[in-house]
Amino acid sequence: MKGLNKILVSKAELQHRVKELGAEISLDYHGQELVLIGILKGGAVFMADLMREITLPIGIDYMSVSSYGNSSTSSGAIVIKKDIDTDIRGKHILIVEDMIDTGLTLQHLQKHLLTRDALSVKICTILNKPSRRLVDIKIDYEGIEIPDEFVVGYGLDYAEQYRHLPDVWIVDTLELGIH
């Protein structure tokens, strides 16, 4: 495909890491009430794989959010485009994301969910780009750390394309004319 010349993380590598994360989460939350919240749209692919590697009874739900502003903006700097239906009071929440970049979205979302009286709100991401971070957030379950490259596949898009690709590809931004 035009602009996609190199796989950064293969399907096999993703599958292997998702299995490991599922096992770790299953151990950590044993005997507790856990709800996974997948963040649309990108997180949907990872969410579908991860939930099937968790061996506990869990609840699932989805949210769509966008974050605006910068690291100094107030904690309310989040727009909820689609909310969860689940009452999360007294439950352990695990946010499931495809990518953490600046960290702004997750920082705001985590604070927001805690205001709804969740017992705990932790973060799981399949891809992490620490070199781009603007805020200090704790990632409780990290899949794979990647360099500062623009990537697509496994849920991640460029202009709403490529989310369905099973591998994670580096986008040649010059070839696609992205600045």
Ligand X SMILES: O=P(O)(O)OC[C@H]1O[C@H](OP(=O)(O)OP(=O)(O)O)[C@H](O)[C@@H]1O
Residues annotated as catalytic are: 101
Residue 84 region by backbone torsions, left for phi larger than 0, else alpha for psi between -120 and 50, else beta: beta
Q: 63 to 122, contacts with ligand GUN by CB under 6 A? A: 99, 101
Residue closer to ligand X (CB basis): 90 or 148: 148
- For position 150 contacting ligand GUN by CB under 6 A, the verdict is yes
How many residues of this chain bind ligand GUN (CB under 6 A)?
8
Residue 150 interface partner, choices ligand X, ligand GUN, none, CB cut-off 5-8 Å depending on type:
ligand GUN
Alpha-carbon distances of 136 from 76, 82, 101, 107, 144, rounded to whole Å: 17, 26, 11, 8, 18
Q: Pick from ligand X, ligand GUN, none: which does 151 bind, CB < 5 to 8 A by kind?
A: ligand GUN
170 lies in the binding site for ligand GUN (CB under 6 A):
no
Q: Identify whether the C-beta of residue 171 lies closer than 8 Å to the C-beta of residue 45.
A: no
Cβ proximity of 61 and 95 under 8 Å: no
Closer residue to ligand X, CB minimum distance, 101 or 167: 101
SS3 state of residue 104: helix
| 130 lies in the binding site for ligand GUN (CB under 6 A) | no
Q: Is there a contact between 127 and 155 (Cβ–Cβ < 8 Å)?
A: no
Q: Which residue has the tokens 């689940």?
A: 86
109 binds, among ligand GUN, ligand X, none (CB under 5 to 8 A by kind): none
Site residues, ligand GUN (CB under 6 A):
99, 101, 150-152, 156-158
